[in-house]
């Protein structure tokens, strides 16, 4: 397998695996996403699209590199979100504080999920923190492999 085909595989596998994990967490373990969790998913959707496009549209290096950049973008958003969860800085959304007036219909429709509270962690690293680590490292690897020419 060449470096370019490995990069293409990673460009599809990384966002698919992370999105799959997010949806398993949400629907299998009731870890509902907050607003910033959704922000992390959007670049992964784009990365998946770019990665799949690299199979059909030339030059594939461009599409693979775009996928890698989108993966990195999700990781950076995850890093910001993790910082909010760890209390290193304040979030920029209204989901970091409890609302003063709560509409009863909204409570019945969906769970209240705060952005500044990590609902789960592994070894002290939240889901947003894991997204930061995996996405930034994986995205850099994808971009490096896609842009390297012998």
Q: What is the mean pLDDT of residues 6-10?
A: 94
CA 105 vs CA 7, 76, 94, 100, 111: distances in Å: 47, 34, 18, 15, 11
**What does the alpha-carbon distance between residue 137 and residue 32 come to, in Å, rounded to a whole number?**
25
Please say if the pLDDT value at position 105 is more than 60: no
Q: Give the tens place of pLDDT for each residue, 28-43.
A: 998 888 889 999 999 9
Distance of CA 59 to the CA centre of its chain: 26
Residue 51 — pLDDT band, cuts 50, 70, 90?
very high
* pTM for this predicted structure: 0.84
Residue 17 — pLDDT band, cuts 50, 70, 90?
very high
Please say if the pLDDT value at position 103 is more than 80: no
CB contact at 8 A, 84 and 91: yes
The structural domains of the chain, ordered by start, are 3-91+102-147 (1.20.1550)
Element (H, E) at 125: strand 125-126
pLDDT at 118: 76
Q: Give the tens place of pLDDT for each residue, 57-102.
A: 999 999 999 999 999 999 999 999 999 999 898 888 667 555 555 5
């Amino acid at each position: 397998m060449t470096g370019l085909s490995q990069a293409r595989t990673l460009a599809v596998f990384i966002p698919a695996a992370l999105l799959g994990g997010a949806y398993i967490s949400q629907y299998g373990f009731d870890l509902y996403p907050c607003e910033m969790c959704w922000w992390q998913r959007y670049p992964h959707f784009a990365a998946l699209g770019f990665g799949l496009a690299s199979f059909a549209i030339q030059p594939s290096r461009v599409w693979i590199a775009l996928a890698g950049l989108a993966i990195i973008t999700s990781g950076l958003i995850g890093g910001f979100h993790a910082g909010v969860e760890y209390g290193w800085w304040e979030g920029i959304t209204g989901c970091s504080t409890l609302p003063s007036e709560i509409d009863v219909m909204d409570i019945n429709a969906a769970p209240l999920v705060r952005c500044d509270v990590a609902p789960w962690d592994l070894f002290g690293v939240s889901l947003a923190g894991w997204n930061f680590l995996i996405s930034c490292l994986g995205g850099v690897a994808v971009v490096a492999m896609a842009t390297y020419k012998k």
